[in-house]
Structure 1
Amino acid sequence: MRKVAGNILRVLLLMAVALGLMGCSGAEPEPVPEVKLSVWWSEEEERELLNQTIEAFQEEYADEALFQITVSIENIVTTRETVLANPQAAADIYVFADDQFETLRRAGALLEITEDTEQVIADNGGVDNGACCAAMYEDKLYAYPFTAGNGYFLYYNADYFTEEDVKSFDRILEVSAANGKKTAMDYSSGWYIYSFFKGAGLDLVMNEDGITNTCNWNAADTPYTGVDVTEAMLRIAYHDGFINCDDEGFIKGIQSGDIIAGVNGAWNAEVIKKEWGEGFAAVKLPCYTLAGDNVQMCSFSGYKLLGVNPSSENCYWAMKLAQRLSDEQMQTKRFEMTGDCPSNVNAAMSESVQASPVVAALVEQEHYADAQRVADTYWNPSSLFGITIAGGNPDGQDLQYLLDTMVDGITARPE
């Protein structure tokens, strides 16, 4: 009886093993989901770095998803308009400047970031840091910061200027003229001429409705009036050492040797450094002469952000990829390639970043900078005003009239 029972047990064991083997050989692995993502980036020269980062991301999560990620180049200046024209057709992830944040958020074109939110905020300096403030609304994160250097300051060639010279706009112009050279600034851009009016204590703010502005740049009853500021701008424009030019003209002037100083931003650092070599230097904006006083020029601070489209079919993976494209490693590599100042605090503390004159200038200028929060009606009137002043007010128009006309346009309600 014991022998029969043992034989039966052996048979049952063999059957169990056989069934187990059949189950193993017949089981099919769980299918890996296909994830399609699209990215709109802003710089063609960063495509190789972008592709390398995406490939590493795909390899890390290869067991979780089969990725199809496409990259296109979209001008950061027009990102907002392109996205809002057809949000459903926009990329899953896109780069934009922080001045576009409020319009995109109000239009529902920015997904609230819900993956690793606390870590992203901590990596970028905390909720009170400018980069995080630029990406948040009512304590909620709506974008990933990835630069903190989208502001402006003064570049100068130290072969011509001393550190004392560059504290004063008047002195900078004197040195430029004495050497048959020029100092550049773009009067046609409201982004730059803000520096004169804000330095004078005059105000420009976007209203709560998000589409109109309040502006007193035409004030006649303030310590420094709008006419005072305009006269100061005209004196600069008239000077032999000054040239009004846009970004492209600025770089061409440096490459030709005609421009030895100018107000510009970090994105051109590598090009300028290549031209000036050991003479390459940067510092906060200078003081300018206003109604007989030396007044510190102010500026807009600015940040580049990565947004995730709420219309994405793969929001979770879009957030994961956007976090990777804006992390410490990516920001450090971008700085080494473009000179863009990182918003990530660890990246900003790296040796290469800390050694940069551009970063030092941005940090110094930050004390005199405001986040760019203006409605669209600001740009065209301020540009027209700046062009008129850059040309020396050729028709001799009354300065108060010019100011009133500009402010009327800036504060107008869009149709």
Structure 2
Amino acid sequence: MKKWLSISVLSLALLVITTGCGSGQPQKVSDDSNDSKEKTVTLKVWVDEESVAQTKEMVEAFKEEHSEKDYDVEVVVSDSMKASENVKNDPEAAADIFMIPHDHLGQLVESGSIYKNTKFADVLEEEMTPASMEGATYQDELYGYPYGVETCVLYYNRSMLSEEDLTSFEKITDKAKIGINLAESVSDYQVAPFFVGNGSLLYGETGEDPEGTTFNDANGVETLNWIIDLKNNPNVVHVKDDMVSSMLDGKIAAAIGGPWNKKDLKGMGDDLGVVPYPTADFGSGSKQMYAFQGVKLFVVNSSTKAPVDAMELSNFLVNEENQLKRFELTGIIPSNQKVQESDAVKNDPVAKAVSIMSQEDHSVVMPKIPEVSTFFSQCSPLINDAYSGKIAKDDVQAKLDQFVVDISK
């Protein structure tokens, strides 16, 4: 789950200082830009290690489809979580195309480090899920090329819980133990979306308004009180690094986790089940429990000497055929709507659950404005203190009021 957390405020500051671009946007390129006329085009692509081999194959297919040009494309291993920092360190030496988690998008746009997607907005709008397009867009402008989505899901033990038990949080905890990260770092990733599911807003309706958080409204107060009460429920157990072992040992019957836990939980054999989140009653009726949604993107470096060709290749890398290949080889859940409906995805329980969770009535796209780094630094302590009993119910409103002020900075 850490792969979806934003880079630090210090990294953001250095990014802005080093590029010296402020919020400037590189000049828009047209379809007849000089690079589309060049006979030989040199491009570099940064991808995560797991994606190197398949990306090289995709590049070869792209070159075959565009045999009118001589493409020299180098595919290089580079951690997508560090791409923003690497671009900041040396924009000219950075790749023309690189992978990022979508919550880095605002930082890169503000620093003028990436090109707008000026060629393929209509194509992607038709093919991708609405939420993935939201993740690729900043201030109403499309920048990214979505190639995958990611959310948490609910893993459970089939021998301990029935399908009917899984329909609500209350039914689960009436029967067996559920594990959630409530008392350590990164609890914000799992628990903060519950506020949104209960009706509060995180950075406004679009996730881009620094002063638009309403976690201190009546719904937010209700949610934090619900978290406080979880401590008194013997069937709610705090887990973090011990989540997998607790599931394997049968100490808990269900747990919130992500696609990254799938491999380690296979030891449960046929007892392993996975479903979207249930509903929960936070105090005023049943509501769908929400997760954060992350969107995996390719973006184009504003320093590229071949922006049109870089956009062409980026779009090719995220097309329907390549998203299916990527899923089959690495398990990355596709953002392409047709691929989500394919038998390959529907026959994979984790992928199917993530596809459902990635719908707008089950998840909220993680904010991508620079202020989100402050949100993450402030939210875990709030949740941890509530669960551990350090926040009295009489103080909930004041705590949330201050939290909303703090995360707007």
Change (3 A) 1:138 1:297: closer
Q: Partner residue of 1:37?
A: 43
Is the 1:152–1:362 Cα contact (8 Å) retained in structure 2?
yes
Match of residue 18 from structure 2: none
3-state SS of 2:92 partner: helix
Alignment partner of 1:403 out of 389, 400, 405? 400
Distance 1:140 1:107 in 2: 15
Name 1:20's counterpart in structure 2: none
Paired position in structure 2 for 1:322? 314
Contact 2:180 2:190 in 1 (8 A): no
Is 2:238 aligned against 1:244?
yes
Counterparts of 1:326 and 1:313, CA distance in 2: 21
State the Cα deviation string for residues 155-205 of structure 1 (Å, max 9, x = none).
22222211111122233234334xxxx523356433322232123322222
Partner of 2:383: 386
Gaps (5+ residues) in structure 1?
1-31
Q: Which residue of 1 aligns with 2:150?
A: 150
Distance 1:171 1:383 in 2: 27
Residue 71 of structure 1 and its aligned partner are, at CA, apart by 1.0
How far is the alpha carbon of 1:258 from its aligned partner? 4.1
2:101 partner letter? A
TM-score between both structures, scaled by the size of structure 2: 0.76
- Could you say if the C-alpha distance between residues 68 and 285 of structure 1 is closer, same or farther in structure 2, counting changes exceeding 3 Å? closer
- Which of 309-318 and 235-244 deviates more? 235-244
Partner residue in 2 for 1:349:
341
Q: Which residue of 2 aligns with 1:83?
A: 87
Q: CA deviation at 1:139?
A: 6.7
CA distance in 2, matches of 1:109, 1:204: 26
Matched, 1:47 2:52: yes
Distance in 1, Cα, partners of 2:400 & 2:139: 35
In structure 2, the residue corresponding to 1:347 is in which secondary structure? helix
Match for residue 119 of structure 1 among 118, 123, 131: 123
8 Å Cα contact 1:156/1:260 also seen in 2 = yes
Q: Alpha-carbon deviation of 1:337?
A: 3.4
Q: Deviations over 1:284-311 (max 9, x none)?
A: 3223342374433223333211101111
294, 299, 302: which one aligns with 2:294:
302
Would the aligned equivalents of 2:45 and 2:73 in 1 still touch at CA under 8 Å? Answer: no
TM-score (norm 1): 0.75
Tell me, in whole angstroms, the C-alpha distance in 2 between the residues paired with 1:199 and 1:209.
Answer: 14
Q: Confirm whether residue 184 of structure 1 aligns to residue 175 of structure 2.
A: no
Identify the residue that residue 353 of structure 2 maps to in structure 1. 361
**Which residue number in structure 2 is paired with residue 263 of structure 1?**
256
Displacement, 1:96? 1.6
Q: CA deviation digits over 1:78-129, x for unaligned, max 9?
A: 443443454334321111222232332233222123445543443326xxx2
Distance 1:396 1:82, change over 3 A: farther
Task: Work out the CA distance in 2 between the residues paired with 1:84 and 1:202.
Answer: 35
Task: Show the counterpart of 2:135.
Answer: 134
Distance 1:401 1:84 in 2: 39
The counterpart of 2:201, out of the listed 200, 203, 227, is 203
How far apart, CA to CA, are the structure 2 residues paired with 1:400 and 1:216? Answer: 12
Q: CA deviation at 1:390?
A: 4.0
What's the CA shift string for 1:230-259, capped at 9, x where partnerless?
A: 22112224434333344x543454455544
Indicate if the aligned counterparts of 1:269 and 1:338 stay in contact, CA closer than 8 A.
Answer: no
Q: In the TM superposition, what whole-angstrom CA distance separates every residue of 1:206-234 from its partner, at most 9, and x where no partner exists?
A: 59995723223233xx3x451x3222112
CA distance in 1, matches of 2:86, 2:174: 44
Question: What is the SS of the residue equivalent to 1:150?
Answer: strand
Following the alignment from structure 2 to structure 1, what is the Cα–Cα distance between the partners of residues 260 and 84? Answer: 20
Q: What is the alpha-carbon distance in structure 2 between the residues aligned to residue 70 and residue 301 of structure 1? A: 27
Residue type at the aligned position of 1:263: I
CA distance in 1, matches of 2:135, 2:207: 18
Contact 2:181/2:239 (CA < 8 Å) preserved in 1? yes
Change (3 A) 1:132 1:198: closer
In the superposition, relative to structure 1, how do residues 384 and 90 fare at CA in structure 2: closer, same or farther (>3 Å)? farther
Instruction: Select between 155-164 and 253-262 the one with higher mean Cα deviation.
Output: 253-262
Conserved? CA contact 2:136–2:145, under 8 Å: yes
- Counterpart CA distance in 2 for 1:111 and 1:348 is 28
Q: Give, in whole Å, the separation in 2 of the partners of 1:81 and 1:245.
A: 31
Change (3 A) 1:244 1:408: farther
Which of 1 and 2 has greater Rg? 1
Looking at structure 2, the residues matched to 355 and 295 of structure 1 have their Cα atoms a distance apart, in angstroms, of 28
The AA in structure 1 aligned to 2:380 is S
1:234 aligns with 2:238: no
- Unmatched runs of 5 consecutive residues or more in structure 2: 1-37
Distance in 2, Cα, partners of 1:356 & 1:33: 43
2:169 alignment partner AA: F
Give the Cα separation in 2 of the matches to 1:255 and 1:289.
Answer: 28
Count of aligned positions: 365
Q: Evaluate the alpha carbon distance shift between residue 214 and residue 123 of structure 1 in structure 2; reply closer, same or farther with a 3 A threshold.
A: closer
**Change in CA separation of 1:37 and 1:251 when aligned onto 2, cut-off 3 Å:** farther
Residues 103, 210 of structure 1: 8 Å contact kept: no
Provide the residue aligned with 1:71 in structure 2: 76
Query: Residues of 1 paired with 2:389 and 2:331: CA distance?
Result: 35
- In the alignment, what sits opposite 2:16? none
Measured at CA, do residues 381 and 65 of structure 1 come closer, stay the same or move farther in structure 2, by a change above 3 Å? same
